[in-house]
Amino acid sequence: MLRLGFRPFYLAAALLACLSVPLWVAVFLGHARVDLPVSPLLWHAHEMLFGFAAGVIVGFLLTAVKAWTGLPTPRGALLGVLALLWIAARLAAVAAPYAVYAALDVALLPIVAGILLRVLLKSGNKRNIPLISILVLMSLANLVFHLAALGVLKVQPLTPLYAGLALIVMIECVMAGRVVPMFTKSVTPGLVITVSRRFEMGTLAVTALALALWVFAPAGLWTLVACVLAAVAHAVRLWKWHPLVTRKRPILWILHASYAWIAVGFALLALAQAGWVVASAAVHAFAVGTTGGLIIGMITRTARGHTGRPLQASRAEVLAYALVMAAAVLRVLLPIAVPQWYGMALAFAAAAWCVAFAIYLVIYTPWLAQTRLDGKDG
């Protein structure tokens, strides 16, 4: 379990996703009550971003940086301490004074960023340092959230949470641009994917601008225009990756389908600037559709690869993919189409999400608790 970062962090994050979302929806709909140091809404949003998503990002980067550099990343006792720190923060959120929760929660990301930066610098791998910079910015957003919740900073706590989501979306845009076309070409003989560096950099630039305006500027025309441009850029980018060729490869189409939610999210964010939809629809397009979808896709693919198993999703895993996409449709689009079904849509979305990550836990817990099938380390 402690041989490589993806093992404890993928399982712990999947367990959090499986348990916390149904609990939040039960509290929101009045079917349960939980004594929390902050409002249930802030707890839910924070734990999904800085608990679930950040946990997967940490597990992924601890694994990927080893592959990128050939140098060791934390394992054994040190990896165990990092995983226990993440778990302690999740438990403290519901069972400890807020200051204890904040201290535990703020500690993990900067520690991991420092460890990974040292490895990258030692190997001379400067290409991936920007990812560590985003991790540092996530640490700062998390710190601001806790200081706002404690009343130390006069900032709306939702602002750093939106900033955290924006940074996660940027990580997804960068990593998807690297891996999705590569994965697609590698299994499609003769397929040529050409995306110019100018287009790639322009897409990332307009994405960063649109997200920054959304987080820090009041709703208005400039944010609307930037979000429209970002939506179009990501739709074009996805189309250049030839998503239709992945129809018979679920382990690939889940990545393409999840990425499509970025374009949907920016389109909804643009509509929110005009007051035609609530901003929550765009937030959940990014959070459930993009982040949830890319996570279920990557934690299956990378875990299979790093345990020596074939990169071929089973029927149960395909069901998990479909359930996460269904959760996104139920949470984002159904309430827009039929507002009176909002409560029911939330409940069914939570159920689909929970079952998807429960499937992951059932399949992958025994795999990640054992050594690789091919006998290699990792």
- For residue range 139-181, list pLDDT tens digits in order: 999 999 999 999 999 999 999 999 999 999 999 999 999 999 9
pLDDT at site 264? 98
Q: Is the pLDDT of residue 34 over 90?
A: no
Cα(67)–Cα(161) distance, rounded to whole angstroms?
A: 31
pLDDT one-digit tens code per residue, 284-306: 999 999 999 999 999 999 999 99
User: 19, 373 in Cβ contact below 8 A?
Assistant: no
Q: For position 257, what pLDDT does the model report? A: 98
For the chain, the C-alpha Rg in angstroms (whole number) is 20
The answer, yes or no, to whether residue 378 has pLDDT greater than 90, is: no
Angle made by CA atoms 265, 230, 181, in degrees to the nearest 5:
90
* Mean of pLDDT values over 211-226: 95
Q: What is the mean pLDDT of residues 109-116?
A: 97
138 near 109, Cβ under 8 Å? Answer: yes
pLDDT for the residue 195: 87
Task: Write out pLDDT tens, residues 12-32.
Answer: 999 999 999 999 999 999 998
Q: Is the dihedral of CA 116, 287, 164, 24 positive or negative?
A: negative
Q: State what percent of residues in the chain have pLDDT above 90.
A: 93
**pLDDT classification of 194: cutoffs 50, 70, 90:** confident
The residues, ordered by sequence, that sit 6+ positions from 355 with a Cβ below 8 Å of its Cβ are 320, 323
Other beta carbons less than 10 A from residue 204's beta carbon: 17
Q: Using the predicted structure, report yes or no on whether residue 42 has a pLDDT greater than 90.
A: yes
Instruction: Check whether 225 has a pLDDT greater than 90.
Output: yes
Whether the predicted pLDDT of 358 surpasses 90: yes
Q: What angle do CA 314, 315, 317 make, to 5 degrees?
A: 65
Query: Cβ(90)–Cβ(16) under 8 Å?
Result: yes
Q: pLDDT for 231-255, tens place per residue?
A: 999 999 999 999 999 999 999 999 9
pLDDT of residue 41 exceeding 90, the answer is: yes
pLDDT of residue 55: 98
Place of tokens 């030692």: 122
Band of the pLDDT at 377, cuts 50, 70, 90? confident
Q: What is the pLDDT, as a whole number, of residue 35? A: 86
pLDDT at 187 over 90: no
Find the mean pLDDT for residues 200-210. 97
Whether 216 has a pLDDT exceeding 90, the answer reads yes
Q: Is the pLDDT of residue 37 over 90?
A: no
H-run or E-run covering 360: helix 342-368
Percentage of the chain modeled with pLDDT above 70: 100
